[in-house]
RNA sequence: UCCUUGGUAGCUCAACGGCAGAGCAAUCGGCUGUUAACCGAUUGGUUGGAAGUUCGAAUCUUCCCCAAGGAGCCA
């Protein structure tokens, strides 16, 4: 047991060497005097081959009776082999010794197909499966990529509170928490706190879980999801869009580079991602409404006609976003939404108070909104006016209003939904698979 | 909250008023190149729950529970 312990991801560096691999049995087939074990070690999958005549009887018999997900330590020689399956494929281990750590009990998730209810009930095991493994590794790369990029741009990560005293933008969608007898809430954004942070640090972001008690049951919704929220001093709406597109392009590029194997497992079409280059089309809300109305007029499907119905002043629903983004091959910015369908703190458009300096980034292929941001109101009186218009409790926003009194500057920020971003980059249907243990309406187990 | 679909073996499903079935998994045996291997055998059931209709209910009716998909709302 003196061989070097290697990771499967780096197996190419060890061709010809005697190595040790520690992992789990992912799948097994046998043919008489041969046993083929597919082993996982967390970094990849490799095939280990046992040939009966060249091994002690008990070693071969032990391999033959291994069950799926049994934990093993395998020693052998790394060989290149065209036909060997794995991640990365093309390599296999010619086994010289096998140590069984534990023979697993009958494993519920077989290589055959399973229903979504069963898989979600067994999420703690499902994450071991190839596709889920690839997806969650991609998620980690996305999170690391976003952090690294912002850090290089001079941003500082600031933690914002999860336990918060008051509603950011209305109380209907917040989870209530009992705080020693007082009612407080789980945060649905760190933005307001970041607006305080920029006056100390210039450019900041918070990155953490956020909570929405909405009774949404769709493939784009979870009650707990991760959000990245950058906030920048001395930044207007146009500068914000530039920052967002640069960040998104750098992120996609990094995923293409670092997650080639994962994207292969996910069967993601790389060429779609390679097209993600600046600039992203900028579409005003006014134009977007006209585009959707035109599509609505042209469609012959009565159901679509119903779903695509929209008047100026209404926010886009997902059918609208889907129809709109399908016309582009890269993310688009939709900017200048009606003030009435956005939050109170957004800067009004010059000479058009019914419109605000807001912008959503919509991902292509029908994925829809992945970021939402705006330039914030920097004038004290204007902010007060908007708080009163929305009938929000001025007292609760005292500290927030204070920020406009001491060196106020134009500033902007946005929130990026991690799960939606990962779902889009991975090309998968439902956001819940991009979180190791998703919380959705009606499911908090496991 | 509303609409739609579903719940039968560990899993995926069939049986749609007349004996509870198949494939996979598991167990045993065979096979020197398997990729969801293949071949043979064995094991496996309170048909989501309750009530009703019927000679007879997995199947029809009512109520309930659970889940999934979608809408509204949102990232």
| Token pair listed for A239 | 């500068």
This complex has an ipTM of 0.88
A444, closest nucleotide (Cα–C1'): B67
CA separation for the pair A362, A325 (Å, rounded): 7
What is the CATH number that goes with domain A124-281+328-434?
A: 3.30.930.10
**Mean pLDDT (10-residue bins), chain A, 446 residues:** 87 96 93 92 95 92 92 95 91 94 90 86 92 95 97 97 73 81 89 96 96 86 93 97 97 97 94 94 94 87 81 88 89 94 92 94 88 95 92 88 96 95 93 92 83
What is the CATH number that goes with domain A4-102?
A: 2.40.50.140
- Which protein residue lies nearest to nucleotide B69, measured between its Cα and the C1' atom? A218
Query: Can you give the pLDDT at residue A441?
Result: 85
Q: Determine how many CB atoms are found less than 10 A away from the CB of residue A24.
A: 20
CA separation for the pair A373, A413 (Å, rounded): 6
3-state secondary structure A305-338: HHHCCCCCCCCCCHHHHHHHHCCCCCCEEEECCE
Alpha carbons within 13 A on the beta-carbon side of A282: 15
Q: Which of residues 97-126 of A touch strand B (CB under 7 A)?
A: 106-108, 110-118, 120
Q: Which of residues 225-244 of A touch strand B (CB under 7 A)?
A: 225, 227
Count Cβ atoms within 10 A of the Cβ of residue A110 and give its class: 0-12 exposed, 13-18 middle, 19 or more buried. Answer: exposed
Percent of all residues in chain A with a pLDDT value above 70, rounded to a whole number: 98
**DSSP 8-state assignment for residue A200:** H
At residue A195, the 3 state secondary structure works out as helix
Query: Can you give the pLDDT at residue A406?
Result: 97
Q: Determine how many CB atoms are found less than 10 A away from the CB of residue A239.
A: 14
CA separation for the pair A413, A235 (Å, rounded): 8
Peptide bond into A88 cis (omega under 30): yes
A220, closest nucleotide (Cα–C1'): B75
- Which protein residue lies nearest to nucleotide B38, measured between its Cα and the C1' atom? A31
Q: How far is CA A183 from the centre of its chain?
A: 31
Same fold, A4-102 and A124-281+328-434: no
Query: Can you give the pLDDT at residue A169?
Result: 53
Domain ranges of chain A: 4-102, 124-281+328-434
At residue A396, the 3 state secondary structure works out as helix
Query: Can you give the pLDDT at residue A225?
Result: 93
A442 CA to B66 C1' distance (Å)? 10
The answer to whether the CB of A46 falls within 8 A of the CB of A150 is: no
Query: Can you give the pLDDT at residue A172?
Result: 58
**DSSP 8-state assignment for residue A107:** P
A189, closest nucleotide (Cα–C1'): B75
For A159, list phi and psi in degrees, rounded to 5: -80, 130
Report how far apart, in Å, the C-alpha atoms of A327 and of each of A82, A270, A283 are. 41, 19, 12
DSSP one-letter string for A25-76:
EEEEEEETTEEEEEEE-SS-EEEEEEEGGGS-HHHHHHHHTPPTT-EEEEEE
Determine how β-strand A91-102 pairs with β-strand A45-51.
Answer: parallel
Q: Does strand B come within 7 Å of the CB of A30? A: yes
| Token pair listed for A87 | 């991640």
Q: Which of residues 167-186 of A touch strand B (CB under 7 A)?
A: 173
Query: Can you give the pLDDT at residue A166?
Result: 67
Q: Determine how many CB atoms are found less than 10 A away from the CB of residue A286.
A: 15
pLDDT tens column, A267-321 = 999 999 999 999 999 999 999 999 999 988 888 777 778 888 888 988 888 889 9
């Amino acid at each position: 047991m003196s061989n070097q312990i290697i990771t499967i991801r780096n197996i190419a560096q060890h061709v010809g060497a005697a190595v040790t691999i520690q992992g789990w049995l992912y799948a097994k087939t046998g043919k008489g005097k041969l046993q083929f074990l597919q082993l996982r070690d967390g970094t990849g999958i490799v095939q280990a081959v046992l040939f009966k005549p060249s091994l002690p009887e008990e070693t071969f018999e032990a391999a033959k009776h291994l069950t799926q997900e049994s934990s093993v330590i395998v020693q052998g020689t790394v060989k290149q082999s065209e036909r060997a399956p794995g991640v990365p494929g093309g390599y296999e281990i010619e086994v010289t010794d096998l140590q069984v750590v534990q023979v697993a009990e009958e494993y519920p998730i077989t290589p055959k197909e399973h229903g979504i209810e069963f898989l979600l009930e067994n999420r703690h095991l499902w994450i071991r499966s190839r596709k889920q493994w690839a997806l969650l590794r991609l998620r980690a790369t996305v999170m690391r990529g976003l952090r690294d990029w912002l850090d290089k741009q001079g941003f500082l990560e600031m933690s914002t509170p999860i336990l918060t005293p008051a509603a950011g933008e209305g109380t209907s969608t917040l989870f209530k928490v009992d705080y020693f007898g007082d009612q407080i809430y789980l945060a649905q954004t760190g933005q307001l706190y970041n607006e305080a942070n920029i006056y100390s640090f210039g450019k900041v972001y918070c990155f953490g879980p956020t909570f929405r008690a909405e009774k949404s049951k769709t493939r784009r919704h979870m009650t707990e999801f991760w959000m990245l929220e950058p906030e920048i001093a001395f930044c207007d709406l146009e500068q914000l869009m530039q920052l967002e597109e640069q960040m998104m392009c750098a992120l996609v590029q990094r995923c293409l580079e670092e997650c080639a194997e994962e994207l292969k497992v996910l069967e993601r079409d790389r060429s779609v991602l390679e097209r993600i280059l600046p600039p992203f089309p900028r579409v005003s809300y006014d134009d977007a409404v006209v585009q959707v109305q035109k599509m609505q007029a042209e469609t012959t499907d009565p159901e679509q006609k119903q779903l695509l119905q929209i008047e100026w002043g209404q926010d886009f629903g997902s059918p609208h976003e889907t129809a709109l983004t399908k016309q582009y091959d890269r993310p688009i910015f939709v900017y200048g939404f009606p003030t009435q369908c956005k939050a109170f703190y957004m800067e009004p458009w010059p000479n058009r108070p019914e419109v605000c300096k807001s912008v959503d980034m919509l991902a292509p292929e029908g994925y829809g909104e992945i970021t939402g941001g705006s330039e914030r109101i920097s004038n004290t009186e204007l902010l007060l006016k908007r708080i009163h218009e929305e009938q929000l409790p001025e007292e609760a926003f005292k500290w927030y209003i204070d920020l406009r009194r001491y060196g106020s500057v134009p500033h902007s920020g946005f929130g990026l939904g991690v799960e939606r971003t990962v779902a889009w980059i991975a090309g998968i249907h439902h956001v819940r698979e991009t979180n190791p243990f998703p919380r959705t309406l009606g499911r908090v187990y496991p």
